[in-house]
Structure formats: C-alpha cells, structure tokens
Amino acid sequence: MTDWTRMTLAGFQRGLARGEFSPLDWWRACRERIDARDPTVQAWECLAPEPAIAAQDGGPPHAPLGGVPVGIKDIIDTTRLPTTWGTRGYHRVDRADMDAAIVTQLTRLGALPMGKTVSTEYAYFQPSKTRNPHDPTRTPGGSSSGSAAAVAAGMVPVALGTQTVGSIIRPASYCGVVGFKPTHGTLSVAGLKALAPSLDTLGWFTRHLEDTRTLFTALTGSPPIRALTRLDGLRVGLCRVPGTHSPSPETAAALEGAREKMATLGAEIGTAGLGASFDELVTHQQVILAYEATRALASERERFEASMSPALVALLDEGQRLSLADYWASRQAADRARFTLSQQLAARFDVLLAPSAPGVAPEGLASTGDPIYSRVWTLLGVPCVNLPLHWTPQGLPVGVQLIADRYQDQRLLSIASALMP
Amino acid sequence: MTDWTRMTLAGFQRGLARGEFSPLDWWRACRERIDARDPTVQAWECLAPEPAIAAQDGGPPHAPLGGVPVGIKDIIDTTRLPTTWGTRGYHRVDRADMDAAIVTQLTRLGALPMGKTVSTEYAYFQPSKTRNPHDPTRTPGGSSSGSAAAVAAGMVPVALGTQTVGSIIRPASYCGVVGFKPTHGTLSVAGLKALAPSLDTLGWFTRHLEDTRTLFTALTGSPPIRALTRLDGLRVGLCRVPGTHSPSPETAAALEGAREKMATLGAEIGTAGLGASFDELVTHQQVILAYEATRALASERERFEASMSPALVALLDEGQRLSLADYWASRQAADRARFTLSQQLAARFDVLLAPSAPGVAPEGLASTGDPIYSRVWTLLGVPCVNLPLHWTPQGLPVGVQLIADRYQDQRLLSIASALMP
C-alpha cells in the first residue's frame, strides 16, 4: 500500500504518468490524514472542498506540481477560502477579492490548495491553537505554525510559510521538517498581509529536501538543482553564537552532528564571524520590524486595536516611538552588513552552518519560542534552509540551518542535499 | 480675497489658528475649482462627499495637516471611495476592505481625502483620460496622471503618487509642479496595488516646495527641514546623459538655468558619471520591472487579461520570458550600482542635478511620454525631487530633478529650497 506521508513530488508525478495514481489520490489521502490527526494538532484554519476532477484533473498535462496538495498560510489572500490573518472575531477578512500571486502560480502549476493553515496573529508572535505534532503539549513554533505542523504530521506534503523574524526556520526546527526561506524578494508577496516588507519573505515547508528542490525549480521556472553527494573542497563556516544567546545542549549536539557529517563528506570547516556584532544586528532587525509593522498595520490598528494581543500592541507602540532617523540608521547598518557578509562569503565560505533554534520546541502553547537565531539572517535577506537532522531520545526534533549568500539559493539547496539525501 | 490655489499648508494652519478660516474652507474652494476645471482636465476618477464637520472639524486640534484636501492616486485602496487601479469595466475593485496605510496616516494627521485621482492602468503605461492642464492636447505624463494634473490645475494642494519607472518625476515635469519621490521604502505601500515591489515608491505632488517639506515632516514625524537660501560650499554633480538619450533644447535650457542658479547661490558644480553605464542600468531597471510585474500581477492577468492593454500584456510576456538568473543578475547589478553611487556621492557631491524628462509634455493623449530620465534613479532607490523651474515661451513647464543618496531626503529638500523658495 502506498505510504502517502512519505511520497515525494517527483514520485507522485512518476506514478501519475504510469497511471498508478489518479490526480486526486494524494489529495484524498491527505484529507483522511487530516481527519485523523487534526483534532489533536489543529493545524488548519479551514479546509477546501474536494476539487472538481473535471476542472482540475491534476492540472495541465505534465504540470510540474499536478495533483500536489498544498497548505496555504492564512495571511495569504484566497478568493475561494476565507482569510483571517491569524486574527479572531469581527475583523475576519473572509474571501479576498483577488488570490495572492503565489496561489495563482501554484494552481497554474497544477497544485491543489488543501486549505488555510493557522498563522499567529498578523504573522507576529501571538499563538493560535496549533500544537506540535511530536508532542501536543509543546508549541509548533510560529508564525507559520499550522504549515509546519501540517507537513510534520503528514497532512500535506507542502505548505507555504512566511518569515519576517524567524517564522519558517524556527517552526521547521521544532516540527522536524525542511523549511526554506529563499533570498528576500524571490517569490512575489502580492496578496500577502504585510508585516515588515523589507523583511517579509515567502517560503515553504516540505518533508523531503528533494521536494524543496522540486518546488524551487517549479516556482521559479529554473533548471533542476543537482543534489550533491560529496562536499569535497567546499568551505563551510560554522557560526559562533555569543554566550548570552548560547544554544541548549540539544542544539549544540545537532550542530556538532551536522559539522561532523559535513567534514566526513569532505567539506573544510572554518569558523565564521558576522562582521558587525550579533547583538547589534539583532537590534537593527527589531527596529526595522517595529518601524515597518507600525506603518504597515496602521489601518488595522485603527479599526481592530481592541482585539489585538498585548504583544502586537507593544510592537506597534515601540514602532511609534522610533524615529525615521532610527529606522534609516538600522537600514543603513543592514545594507553594510549585507555587503560585508557577501565579501566574507565570497572570500572564505560556500555556506554557513548555524543553529535553527535555541533547543527543542518549548513546552506550552502560550509562546511560539525564541526566534533569536533567525533574526540576523532575515535582516540580511539571505536564503536559509532548516534541515531536521537531529532527534532527542524523547523523539523531539532539533534542526540546523544552512545559509548562503543572496542569490545562491540553488547552490545552497545543492549542498544541503548531501546532508539529507 | 483668499487665492486658494496659492495657499501653503503652513499658511492654512496659521489662518485656522487665527480663526480666519474654517476647517472646510480649503476643501470647498478645491471642490469649486474642480467643478470649473475638471471637465477639461479630467484628473479625477471619483470625488468624495463633503466631510461631516462634526466628525472631521479639521482633524484633531493643531493636526499638522488639519483640513488639507488631498488627492489619492487610484491604485491606493480606500474603504469609502471606489478603487479601479486605473483599469476599466468589470474588474473595477470598488470599495476595498481596508484603507491603505497612507490613507489612515493622512486622515489621522487631519487631511481630507478629496477623491481618487486618475492612474494609468495598474500604474503602467496605458493612459487614461487626463489631460495636461497647461495644454489639453498634451499628456500630463503618467502613471500618476491625475495627481500631477490636479495639483497643477490648483484643484488640490497635495496629491499622492507612486513611481516604479518615472511616474512621479515625469508628470511633475510635464505639469509644472513639485514631485517628490522619497528613498525607497520610506512610506508604507501597504494597500497599494503592487507593480514591481523593489521599485514601487510612494511619494506626492505639491505646488510649493515648502509644502513638500511640511508633508515630509508630518508623514515621517521628523524635525522641520531647514530651507537653505545659499549653497556656499555645496557640491553639485551635473549628470551627463548619453547622446542616444540626449534631451531636447528645452530640457537642456532648464538644466543650464538650474546649474547657473546653483552656481550663483555659491555651489560648486562638477560633472557626475554613474559608475555603471547609463544604458546598462536602464536595462536592469526594465528587467526587474518586467520580472516582478509579471509575478505581482499573476492573478490579475489570469482574470482580466482580455481587458488589459497590449502594452501591459507585452510587459507581462517579457517578464515571463525572463529567467530567475536574469532577474537576480539585474538585482545584483543594482546592489553594486547603489553602493558605487553612495561612495561617489560621499566623496564628491552633496546632490546631483539631472533632467526630469526629455522635453515638454508631448502632444496627444495616446502616450504618457518617455520615463528614460527616471529609470536609473528609481532603480537605485534614491530620493528625487522635480522642481518646475523653467517654462517655454508657449507656457509649457520643463522641470529638473535634484537627487541625493538614499536616506538623505531631508538634506535634498533643504538644498532644493534654495532654488525654489
């Protein structure tokens, strides 16, 4: 019997071509899995009705993503499904006038929207109902909580996420799935609720790294990405984290495991710094986030402040106190840090290896965990991929991330493939 | 009798404070002017009803923009007025769910929306109905056609515009008004129809440069901008334009006039190059525009292609043919050019002086004119201001633009003030 929770995108296309599967098989299997698992995990804000076979039929012939069920984070506009922006009550947006650009792109490639996955409030920190599939007493991380959890629970092979602080890499680490944040601006954010546009990045979650390569190729129309099996001659920079933010033993073990594996595969491992100090860059990321969020959500605050979480109101208050000079200073610092990182990477490293999160998913659902290890990379706009390489004896995942310079996404995924064939 | 078409924002606030004006006086005067002039100019897509005085009363006490009538370009979402994105027919958007962030910001500062000003189709090149107020047989330029024309015709003291190619500076030059494009990302574009997000910049038109200083201060909450009267010791780089794009005699005369005036005021004038070649940067701007527009408007094309102009479809086809590698190469070239320009400006010039448009507004309404002199500056994200300093004997305006490095907006407006007190 087909194990749909382990199916790859390419495997499904091969099966379709051979007539082993019909276009709705995967969609139906996912729906069954959701019925079984979602009462516990609660990854979905709403589910789509079964697509009409006549209309869809797995998409156009040989569509690269024909029949692939996809979860859509609920800050992404959809005309056929309600949108809530992760908020509650009267300011539910319901059906948008237009589909977000990514939704049209995906459906044109043959993908089948499975439903909207739970987001934290406006993709900021206030958690919603989703639980970690590996331990329902723990957070799945956020803000792409439902997307990470849905993929981890085998409910869907692909789900869209966005990262403004650490909203793809951290939940991917906590849920034990591949999470990919491309170079800032690679995919269009038209039709997504903006939080901080110069940071907001659209990406996704998959179970298999191969599927992330397939998706990248399909969504960008670029050539297939070669999966490396050896890393001979490649230079890896191990990112030191300052003492005040030092990772848990689990994260340290995950990092050490990845370092060892990369060395075994032939890579040269060095130690990387960040140019500017880690804490300074974290501060600049927070300034840009608060300043831009306060302006981007000006109308939402005007109308819906009464139902906003204290955490969000605090962010918007912080942004209100920041001056244009503060904001511009942080943007200039980010410009400089991007330039410095590019030079350092060109001279010394092909990729960087860094922790994805401080440890395993924290207990409780009141917080989505600390995004500290993603702030700098989001600020710098570089592509990052979480690899779920380490599991604790209790069965909890701990990821590591590989990072490359902007516009090196394909090379990053190529190198990462050696670690996760 | 008060000449409302010459009123400044500060003058109105003073008059309000002294009780000489009531909060709706300016709004009503503008409405009369619209009734008189708009049958010819056709700058408006729709007009707002008179604000309820009780509700508005010129905004909060001492609101910086209390009672100031503002035109809103029709790619900007409004909940109380329809939005068309400059498009026609069945895909009229009507009232948006949320106001764009800038609309909330303006009304909170006390401004009174006058209506929606005509935009070209999706803020690209296909003209709408607006005519040049100085000669109705000529284009007002685009894409912010209605905003530039409305301010030029004295229908409103302020109107919002956006620039992705040359959509603020060019119509400002053709209409003889001040047009200001801040550093990319200065004002939030949340709730604006995206065309090419890494280029799209929100700015505005005013009759007086003083009003642009006032608006900048009000919208960014930053300290007042000092108006320089002398330019002693300041270094001005005169931008050469390559022969294939050389300006008309009118534009050359406008540039020479500005150069002379700046020299008279004490500035040192040098000649500036662009680092990379002008034509290369123009090409990179076009690549980024086409690639991003094709992705950002994916859903609009899916639904409304039949009613899209051939010019827009050609752009979207061009974007479809571009590869991710093409796009990223242009973004990297833009990154490098920004860095080079910063270094050059820091070392050699306080501001650059360049043409705003190839000549006076072209005859006919079938085209909005050539944005060639804005493409590079939009690509580089730098602040630009059009100054309507030159008029032909036939009464047609020709502007020049001053340009500074990113984040030098206040300094730019400070220096520009010497040319246009």
- Give the pLDDT band (50/70/90) at residue B222: very high
- Whether B190 sits inside 8 A of A101 (CB atoms) is no
What phi, psi does B206 have (nearest 5°)?
-145, 165
pLDDT at position A55 is 45
Chain A residues inside the 8 Å CB shell of B408: none
Are residues B273 and B185 both part of a single domain? no
* A143, A173, A330, A417: the active-site residue: A143
- Interface residue of A188, A195, A379 to substitute, partner B, most B CBs within 10 Å: A188
- Full DSSP string of B373-413: HHHHHHHHT--EEEEEEEE-TTS-EEEEEEE--TT-HHHHH
- Which of A245, A8, A219 has its CA nearest to residue B324? A219
- Whether B188 sits inside 8 A of A222 (CB atoms) is no
Q: Show the tokens assigned to A248.
A: 């848990």
Distance between A158 CA and the closest CA of chain B, angstroms: 20
At which residue do the structure tokens 């500036």 appear? B272
Chain A residues inside the 8 Å CB shell of B103: 299
Are residues B168 and B262 both part of a single domain? no
- Is B302 a member of any domain? no
pLDDT at position A271 is 93
- Is A333 a member of any domain? no
pLDDT by residue (tens digit) across A237-276?
Answer: 999 777 677 889 999 999 999 999 999 999 999 999 765 6
Are residues B256 and B335 both part of a single domain? yes
B69 has which bridge partners? B112
What mean pLDDT is predicted for residues A319-342?
A: 96
What phi, psi does A161 have (nearest 5°)?
-135, 170
3-state secondary structure of A293: helix
**What residue spans of B81-142 are helical by DSSP H?**
101-108
- Is A67 a member of any domain? yes
What mean pLDDT is predicted for residues A292-300?
A: 97
What mean pLDDT is predicted for residues A369-396?
A: 96
> Closest chain A residue to B326 measured between Cα atoms?
A222
Give the integer Cα–Cα distance in Å for A321 and A324. Answer: 10
**CA-CA distances (angstroms) from residue A206 to A22, A71, A215, B177?**
22, 10, 9, 53
Are residues B207 and B165 both part of a single domain? yes
Q: Where are the beta strands (DSSP E) in B27-157?
A: 44-47, 69-73, 112-117
Distance between B97 CA and the closest CA of chain A, angstroms: 8
Candidates A99, A186, A299; nearest CB to B101: A299
Chain A residues inside the 8 Å CB shell of B191: 299
3-state secondary structure of A207: coil
Chain A residues inside the 8 Å CB shell of B296: 101, 188, 190
What phi, psi does B73 have (nearest 5°)?
-55, 140
User: Residue B133 region, left (φ>0) first, then alpha (ψ -120 to 50), else beta?
Assistant: alpha
Interface of B with A (CB under 8 A): 93, 96-101, 103-105, 108, 183, 185-191, 194, 197-198, 220-222, 292, 295-300, 302-303, 323-325, 328, 331-332, 339, 407
Per cent of chain B over pLDDT 70 is 96
Strand bridging mode A235-239 / A201-206 = unpaired
Give the integer Cα–Cα distance in Å for B142 and B362. Answer: 12
B56 has which bridge partners? none
- Whether A105 sits inside 8 A of B295 (CB atoms) is yes
At which residue do the structure tokens 């939009």 appear? B378
pLDDT at position B4 is 97
Are residues B244 and B170 both part of a single domain? no
A68, A112 Cβ separation under 8 angstroms = yes
Distance between B303 CA and the closest CA of chain A, angstroms: 9
pLDDT at position A274 is 66
A188 is catalytic: no
Domain that holds residue B240: 235-278+327-419
- Whether A186 sits inside 8 A of B331 (CB atoms) is no
Of A43-57, A61-75, A251-265, B242-256, the poorest mean pLDDT is in A43-57
pLDDT at position B55 is 45
Task: Kindly report the number of other CB atoms within 10 A of residue B240's CB atom.
Answer: 13
- Whether A108 sits inside 8 A of B197 (CB atoms) is no
Are residues B141 and B262 both part of a single domain? no
Give the integer Cα–Cα distance in Å for A53 and B191. Answer: 35
Are residues B121 and B199 both part of a single domain? yes
Candidates A104, A222, A332; nearest CB to B324: A222
* A73, A116, A181, A193: the active-site residue: A73
- Whether A328 sits inside 8 A of B407 (CB atoms) is yes
pLDDT by residue (tens digit) across B109-123?
Answer: 999 999 999 999 999
Per cent of chain B over pLDDT 90 is 90
What mean pLDDT is predicted for residues A288-294?
A: 98
* Torsion, CA B131, CA B156, CA B228, CA B199, rounded to 10: -60
- Is A399 a member of any domain? no
Of A396-410, B21-35, B90-104, B406-420, the poorest mean pLDDT is in B90-104
Give the integer Cα–Cα distance in Å for A7 and A185. Answer: 30
Chain B residues inside the 8 Å CB shell of A97: 93, 96-97
- Whether A97 sits inside 8 A of B93 (CB atoms) is yes
- Is A151 a member of any domain? yes
Q: Show the tokens assigned to B25.
A: 């006086």
pLDDT at position A413 is 98
What phi, psi does B344 have (nearest 5°)?
-65, -45
Interface of A with B (CB under 8 A): 93, 96-101, 103-105, 108, 183, 185-191, 194, 197-198, 220-222, 292, 295-300, 302-303, 323-325, 328, 331-332, 339, 407
More confident residue, B1 or B210: B210
> Closest chain B residue to A328 measured between Cα atoms?
B407
**What residue spans of A275-371 are helical by DSSP H?**
278-296, 298-304, 310-321, 324-348
Given a cut of 70, whether residue B90 has pLDDT beyond it is no
A414 is catalytic: no
Are residues B248 and B354 both part of a single domain? yes
pLDDT by residue (tens digit) across B149-205?
Answer: 999 999 999 999 999 999 999 999 999 999 999 999 999 999 999 999 999 999 999
A398 has which bridge partners? A390
Given a cut of 60, whether residue A60 has pLDDT beyond it is no
- Whether B298 sits inside 8 A of A98 (CB atoms) is no
- Tell me, letter by letter, the H, E, C secondary structure of B309-363: CHHHHHHHHHHHHCCHHHHHHHHHHHHHHHHHHHHHHHHHCCEEEEECCCCCCCE
Are residues B130 and B244 both part of a single domain? no
- Residue A260: exposure state from Cβ atoms within 10 A (0-12, 13-18, ≥19): exposed
Task: Kindly report the number of other CB atoms within 10 A of residue B3's CB atom.
Answer: 8
Give the integer Cα–Cα distance in Å for B373 and B237. Answer: 15
Distance between A344 CA and the closest CA of chain B, angstroms: 16
Q: Is the dihedral of CA A156, A158, A159, A163 positive or negative?
A: positive
Tell me, what CATH number does A48's domain have?
Answer: 3.90.1300.10
Among B220, B251, B268, residue at a domain's last position? B220
B167 is catalytic: yes
A203, A168 Cβ separation under 8 angstroms = yes
Of A128-137, A168-177, B58-67, B248-257, the poorest mean pLDDT is in B58-67
Domain count, chain B: 2
- Residue B57: exposure state from Cβ atoms within 10 A (0-12, 13-18, ≥19): middle
> Closest chain B residue to A77 measured between Cα atoms?
B299
Given a cut of 70, whether residue A61 has pLDDT beyond it is no
- Whether A324 sits inside 8 A of B98 (CB atoms) is no
**CA-CA distances (angstroms) from residue A313 to A122, A179, A282, A302?**
12, 29, 20, 11
> Closest chain B residue to A79 measured between Cα atoms?
B299
- Give the pLDDT band (50/70/90) at residue A41: very high
At which residue do the structure tokens 């999966």 appear? A227
Chain A residues inside the 8 Å CB shell of B295: 101, 105, 187-188, 190
* A145, A147, A167, A356: the active-site residue: A167
- Whether B188 sits inside 8 A of A295 (CB atoms) is yes
Q: Report the Cα B44 to chain-centroid distance in Å.
A: 16
- Full DSSP string of A71-89: EEETTB--SSS-B-TT--G
More confident residue, A126 or A57: A126
Candidates A100, A185, A339; nearest CB to B198: A185
- Whether B101 sits inside 8 A of A191 (CB atoms) is no
pLDDT by residue (tens digit) across A184-239?
Answer: 999 999 999 999 999 999 999 999 999 999 999 999 999 999 999 999 999 999 99
Give the integer Cα–Cα distance in Å for A383 and A376. Answer: 12
pLDDT at position A17 is 92
3-state secondary structure of A165: coil
What mean pLDDT is predicted for residues B13-21?
A: 94
- Whether A324 sits inside 8 A of B222 (CB atoms) is yes
Look up residue B7 and give its amino acid. Answer: M
Are residues B195 and B273 both part of a single domain? no
> Closest chain B residue to A191 measured between Cα atoms?
B296
Among B195, B220, B245, residue at a domain's last position? B220
* B119, B145, B147, B167: the active-site residue: B167
- Which of A2, A408, A4, A420 has its CA nearest to residue A212? A420
- Is B295 a member of any domain? no
Query: Could you say which DSSP state residue B187 is in?
Result: S
Q: In this complex, how many residue pairs, one in chain A and one in chain B, have their CB atoms less than 8 Å apart? A: 105
Chain A residues inside the 8 Å CB shell of B299: 98-101, 103-104, 190-191
A254, A400 Cβ separation under 8 angstroms = yes
pLDDT at position A121 is 95
Per cent of chain A over pLDDT 70 is 96
- Whether B190 sits inside 8 A of A93 (CB atoms) is no
- Interface residue of A192, A299, A317, A328 to substitute, partner B, most B CBs within 10 Å: A299
- Whether B221 sits inside 8 A of A299 (CB atoms) is no
* B119, B128, B143, B417: the active-site residue: B143
- Is A353 a member of any domain? no
Of A273-277, A293-297, A386-390, B215-219, the poorest mean pLDDT is in A273-277
* B73, B116, B181, B193: the active-site residue: B73
- Is B318 a member of any domain? no
A75, A192 Cβ separation under 8 angstroms = yes
Distance between B28 CA and the closest CA of chain A, angstroms: 27
pLDDT by residue (tens digit) across B350-396?
Answer: 999 999 999 999 999 999 999 999 999 999 999 999 999 999 999 99
- Which of B189, B160, B191 has its CA nearest to residue B93? B191
pLDDT by residue (tens digit) across A94-148?
Answer: 888 899 999 999 999 999 999 999 999 999 999 999 999 999 999 999 999 999 9
Sequence-distant (≥ 6) Cβ neighbours of residue B49 within 8 angstroms = none
